[in-house]
Amino acid sequence: MAAASQALQQAAARGRDLEVVAFERGSATSYSACGIPYWVGGVVGSREELIARSPEEHRRRGVDLRMGTEVVGVDLAARTVTWRRAGGAGDGGGPPEGSEGFDQLVLATGAVPRRPDAPGFDAGPEAGVHGVQTLDDGSSLIADLERGQRDGTVRRVVVVGGGYIGLEVAEACVVRGLHVTVVQRGATPLGTVDDDMGAFIADAVRDEGVHLVTGEEVCGLELAPAAEGGRVRAVHTASGLELPCDLVVLGLGVAPSVALAREAGVPLGESGAIAVDVAQRTGAEGVWAAGDCTEVRHRVSGRGVHVPLGTHANKQGRVAGINLGGGYATFPGVVGTAITKVCRVEIGRTGLSTDEAADAGFQVVTAAVDSTTTAGYMPGAEPVRVKLVADQRSGRLLGGQVVGRSGAGKRVDALAICVWNEMSVEEVLALDLAYAPPFAPVWDPVLIAARKAAQAVERACSPGA
Amino acid sequence: MAAASQALQQAAARGRDLEVVAFERGSATSYSACGIPYWVGGVVGSREELIARSPEEHRRRGVDLRMGTEVVGVDLAARTVTWRRAGGAGDGGGPPEGSEGFDQLVLATGAVPRRPDAPGFDAGPEAGVHGVQTLDDGSSLIADLERGQRDGTVRRVVVVGGGYIGLEVAEACVVRGLHVTVVQRGATPLGTVDDDMGAFIADAVRDEGVHLVTGEEVCGLELAPAAEGGRVRAVHTASGLELPCDLVVLGLGVAPSVALAREAGVPLGESGAIAVDVAQRTGAEGVWAAGDCTEVRHRVSGRGVHVPLGTHANKQGRVAGINLGGGYATFPGVVGTAITKVCRVEIGRTGLSTDEAADAGFQVVTAAVDSTTTAGYMPGAEPVRVKLVADQRSGRLLGGQVVGRSGAGKRVDALAICVWNEMSVEEVLALDLAYAPPFAPVWDPVLIAARKAAQAVERACSPGA
């Protein structure tokens, strides 16, 4: 809903004569989906705290908002959408289905959790199998946990997938006193960071008491017979492991919700998400798209990628809304920045990882350094490791990863902006970054890493190499 | 010594046949001068912790290092320096003065505390008037404080000047249980930030128990008669204030030590510091300079400025050393990034302030926003205020300032890199900065500020404006 919310705000503010009708399948608008794991873990006290703008607020700004109402078809030739009301969504009376005409259409259909293509994984919350994408997902997960912890039927949780959301939910479940297993295919969690950096995360996850099972493909979900409630009993892996559990969380990330777009004939991109231009226009006349259902351009690889993230959704929604309202704005793409925190360990990444850079055709050099978040002699100094990925031929910084304790993670922003501006590691090492003993060593960790990467580039380019 | 140390390391590593002779007037090499306030405040336990490389370590790497030995003259035609040993520096025996020939000369003479041009301010440590530039300054300040606090003769400290070092020493003295007054000319501390941002610092300084006297010019230092010990008794201001004290710290910043260069005929720049090119060459054949004695190019104003800071000194020393050793490296200038912490308040600045931008001929728009360091619903959310300075005609980001609690200050790095790359505020608002609830709101404070600045630029540029 982030994209839709921004689009509504901007379009309503700029296009004063626009008549805006919005459909939301669920029961909430404009919320922080990224905050759901913290709500599950009790760090955030209530569902309401995650809501930035309620249905009433949208309506007060002139949006004709239909809650609990799903758009089930788009007819581009007839310029109509057909909709259906979910049972019992309690949004006043009215007919159960209908259609609505439009001049301009914004698709902000979001994403749905990826499910392993294996028996049993199509089970839903009633079987104890939960996604964590929407507030309604969060509500049903929390209700299931509370009930199950109260009556003792939920003690063991398996999280399938060790990505950002998977790890965050795993930590939340540990905080709730549950026995948690994370099972994943890769050698280390967070597939978008290099294995040597991911190893720090693996250690942090295990230190927290999570049972981390790596290098395992899940191949089936075992459910109790319907007569015994039909709930999940175990997750099975291809190598023959059986992971007994009372509840499963899908942490494999999300796939763009493109069924509506595809059926209507709105073109999809190479990633499978809806293709859009920099103004958030799709390939269909008068149809815009924004948020987790769309493809974004990766500014380093040049490829169309699917990066579902609230911060992009907000920006894209703003851009679509401004353009719809008669202004002009663009969304110039992403560099793949992401960040998370596992217990006390922070990790940030941006640009291309070593493997991604090689895939994209670069000749890769890397440099990793261990430093501290403050001058080494200050009492609060925390370890931080910075790894840079550069192109050997041009010295261009292609990506960077930062892992460490408090104060480490957000340093990835510096690298993200360097990558965005296509700086070489030689340029990066000369940057004027903020220095004082409580904030960095006299050579900032980012600069030390850049110096080492520049040396690696120089060595690789020197005649004898 | 940061610049000299780096130059020695690099030159020794690259130019294997170089014979390197180094002169140090004081008793320590390669230390963190920026750490001195934390040593004074007891955060750092000892002088030794601030030393990165001892004289012995330099000698082990082949440097012929003469400690306690001051160069008192340079003869560029004869290619010699004349030197004099300080009394009792205890560096073995040998003659009290002499001369040494050179092919290449590196000037890394550093800076000396600025003193008000008023009676009494030429007094030294023996009168209780202290600078905080060198480790030896720190030793003598701490010795004076310890003695004076033990025998009860030092209870009130006046810090003249509310710059970075002045505030850091003021805090250190409060921590030591002293009554501290900071007196300064400007309306708020830290002259390099806008007054509205400086006001937060003023509040923090006062909350800490410091007596902050603003808008006052000091006009004299009152000393006890020599017969009564000759120590400082009070600082007087032009408006007639008398600030009684037992010890004075000079916190007015530093002036480059250029006497040796000037007398030798090495050209100075517009700032009064030694002029150097990007390779750290001075205008005199075979003479290099690096560190606090040199001028640097400000990449936004284009002017030659004096920015004495350990991080620049390190980089410049590295560049001079590489070039001396037969390699090639450059120091591409600064954007004026600085950071400090006063009690729990962090402040960072980069680029040009509002006044500096106007002085440099830009048509200035500014935007300031209040946000939080994490998603607002997270329990650790701390306030952060971001102010941006942009050029109205081009939308170019000229500078930025960040003030807030823990986790706020270092965010200025993002702005520093944007300024460095001459990004427009419109570009900045689209940046892919790291987002997750524990690290930022979904719109990072930097992005919100850029969005507001872009709106200000748009408004100023629209036909009706």
Q: What is the DSSP string of A211-280?
A: EEE-S--EEEEEE--GGGT--EEEEEETTS-EEE-SEEEE-S-EEE--HHHHHHTPPB-TTSSBP--TT-
A50 in Cβ contact with A44 (< 8 Å): yes
Distance of alpha carbon B415 from alpha carbon B394, whole angstroms: 17
Q: Is residue A330 part of a domain?
A: no
Q: Using pLDDT thresholds of 50, 70 and 90, give the confidence band for residue B7.
A: confident
Q: Do B433 and A411 touch (CB under 8 A)?
A: no
A402 in Cβ contact with A348 (< 8 Å): yes
Is the per-residue pLDDT at B86 higher than 90?
no
Chain B residue with minimal CA distance to A330?
A: B430
Q: Do A410 and B409 touch (CB under 8 A)?
A: no
Q: CB distance from B14 to chain A under 8 Å?
A: no
- Average pLDDT of the residues of chain A: 93
Distance of alpha carbon B181 from alpha carbon B3, whole angstroms: 33
Q: Is residue B331 part of a domain?
A: no
Is the per-residue pLDDT at A414 higher than 70?
yes
Q: What percent of chain B lies above the pLDDT cut of 90?
A: 85
Q: Using pLDDT thresholds of 50, 70 and 90, give the confidence band for residue A92.
A: low
Q: Is residue A393 part of a domain?
A: yes
Distance of alpha carbon B313 from alpha carbon B306, whole angstroms: 11
B212 to A159, B162, B181, B233, B304: CA distances (angstroms): 56, 9, 6, 19, 32
| Residue A281, SS3 per DSSP | strand
Least confident stretch, A1-10, A67-76, A229-238, B389-398: A1-10
Interface of B with A in 346-375 (CB under 8 A): 346, 348, 350, 375
Residue A200 makes CB contacts below 8 A (sequence gap 6+) with A345, A347, A385, A403
Q: CB distance from B282 to chain A under 8 Å?
A: no
Task: Point out the domain boundary residue: A324, A351, A381.
Answer: A324
Mean pLDDT of the B34-58 span: 92
Please give the pLDDT value at position B310: 92
**Which residue from B364, B358, B366, B355 is spatially nearest to B394, judged by alpha carbons?**
B364
Task: Point out the domain boundary residue: B324, B358, B383.
Answer: B324
Q: CB distance from B332 to chain A under 8 Å?
A: yes
| Residue A129, SS3 per DSSP | strand
Q: Are residues B398 and B355 in the same domain?
A: yes
A194 in Cβ contact with A401 (< 8 Å): yes
Mean pLDDT of the B156-173 span: 95
Please give the pLDDT value at position B464: 62
Q: CB distance from B83 to chain A under 8 Å?
A: no
Residues forming a β-bridge with A365: A390
Task: Point out the domain boundary residue: B224, B252, B280.
Answer: B252
Q: How many CB atoms lie within 10 A of CB B370?
A: 12
pLDDT per residue as tens digits for the range B204-246: 999 999 999 999 999 999 999 999 999 999 999 999 999 999 9
Q: Is residue B146 part of a domain?
A: yes
Q: Are residues A237 and A130 in the same domain?
A: yes
Q: Do A339 and B436 touch (CB under 8 A)?
A: yes
**Which residue from A406, A417, A405, A412 is spatially nearest to A446, judged by alpha carbons?**
A412
Picking from A44, A333, A437, the nearest residue to B34 by CB comes out as A437
State which residues form the domain around A65: 2-112+255-324
Rg over alpha carbons for chain A, rounded to the nearest Å, is: 24
Q: Are residues B358 and B455 in the same domain?
A: yes
CATH number, domain with residue B24:
3.50.50.60
Q: Using pLDDT thresholds of 50, 70 and 90, give the confidence band for residue B93.
A: low
Please give the pLDDT value at position B1: 58
For residue B40, what are its two tokens?
A: 């004074």
Please give the pLDDT value at position A15: 67
Is the per-residue pLDDT at B89 higher than 50?
no
Q: Are residues B133 and B220 in the same domain?
A: yes
Q: Do B437 and A375 touch (CB under 8 A)?
A: no
Please give the pLDDT value at position B195: 94
Q: Are residues A245 and A267 in the same domain?
A: no
For residue A445, what are its two tokens?
A: 């960790």
Q: Is residue B154 part of a domain?
A: yes
Picking from B341, B416, B431, the nearest residue to A431 by CB comes out as B416
pLDDT per residue as tens digits for the range A421-442: 999 999 999 999 999 999 999 9
pTM score, whole prediction: 0.94
B449 in Cβ contact with A9 (< 8 Å): no
B1 in Cβ contact with B108 (< 8 Å): yes
Is the per-residue pLDDT at A64 higher than 50?
yes
Q: CB distance from B427 to chain A under 8 Å?
A: yes
pLDDT per residue as tens digits for the range B409-437: 999 999 999 999 999 999 999 999 999 99
Chain A environment of B412 (Cβ under 8 Å): 434
Q: CB distance from A378 to chain B under 8 Å?
A: yes
Q: How many CB atoms lie within 10 A of CB B379?
A: 10
Least confident stretch, A347-356, A359-368, B131-140: B131-140
Number of domains in chain B: 3
Please give the pLDDT value at position A87: 63
DSSP3 helix / strand / coil % (chain A, rounded to 5): 30, 25, 45
Chain A residue with minimal CA distance to B454?
A: A329
Q: Using pLDDT thresholds of 50, 70 and 90, give the confidence band for residue B463.
A: low
Q: Are residues A160 and A279 in the same domain?
A: no
Q: Are residues B46 and B139 in the same domain?
A: no
Closest Cα of chain A to B52: distance in Å? Answer: 10
pLDDT per residue as tens digits for the range A264-310: 999 999 999 999 999 999 999 999 999 999 999 999 999 999 999 99
Looking up tokens 């090689």 gives A358
| Catalytic status, residue A461 | no
Q: Is residue B119 part of a domain?
A: no
Q: Is residue B274 part of a domain?
A: yes
Picking from B332, B348, B430, the nearest residue to A434 by CB comes out as B348
- Average pLDDT of the residues of chain B: 93
Chain B environment of A315 (Cβ under 8 Å): 429-430
pLDDT per residue as tens digits for the range A357-411: 999 999 999 999 999 999 999 998 999 999 999 999 999 999 999 999 999 999 9
Q: Are residues B406 and B300 in the same domain?
A: no
Q: Using pLDDT thresholds of 50, 70 and 90, give the confidence band for residue B15.
A: low
Q: Are residues A189 and A215 in the same domain?
A: yes
Q: CB distance from B316 to chain A under 8 Å?
A: no
B275 in Cβ contact with B267 (< 8 Å): yes
Least confident stretch, A223-232, A357-366, B24-33: B24-33
The winner for highest mean pLDDT among A94-98, A126-130, B1-5 is A126-130
Interface of A with B in 391-420 (CB under 8 A): 407, 409-414, 416-418, 420
Is the per-residue pLDDT at A66 higher than 90?
yes
Q: Is residue A120 part of a domain?
A: no
DSSP B248: E
ipTM for the complex?
0.94
Please give the pLDDT value at position B462: 75
Is the per-residue pLDDT at A417 higher than 70?
yes
CA dihedral sign, ordered B222, B226, B227, B231:
positive
pLDDT per residue as tens digits for the range A135-185: 999 999 999 999 999 999 999 999 999 999 999 999 999 999 999 999 999
Q: What are phi and psi of A223, to 5 degrees?
A: -110, 150
Interface of A with B in 159-178 (CB under 8 A): 164
Q: Are residues B457 and B354 in the same domain?
A: yes
Distance of alpha carbon B392 from alpha carbon B44, whole angstroms: 45
Q: Are residues A164 and A87 in the same domain?
A: no
Q: Are residues B217 and B262 in the same domain?
A: no
Residues forming a β-bridge with B70: B84
B321 in Cβ contact with B376 (< 8 Å): no
Q: Do B377 and A311 touch (CB under 8 A)?
A: no
Please give the pLDDT value at position A89: 47
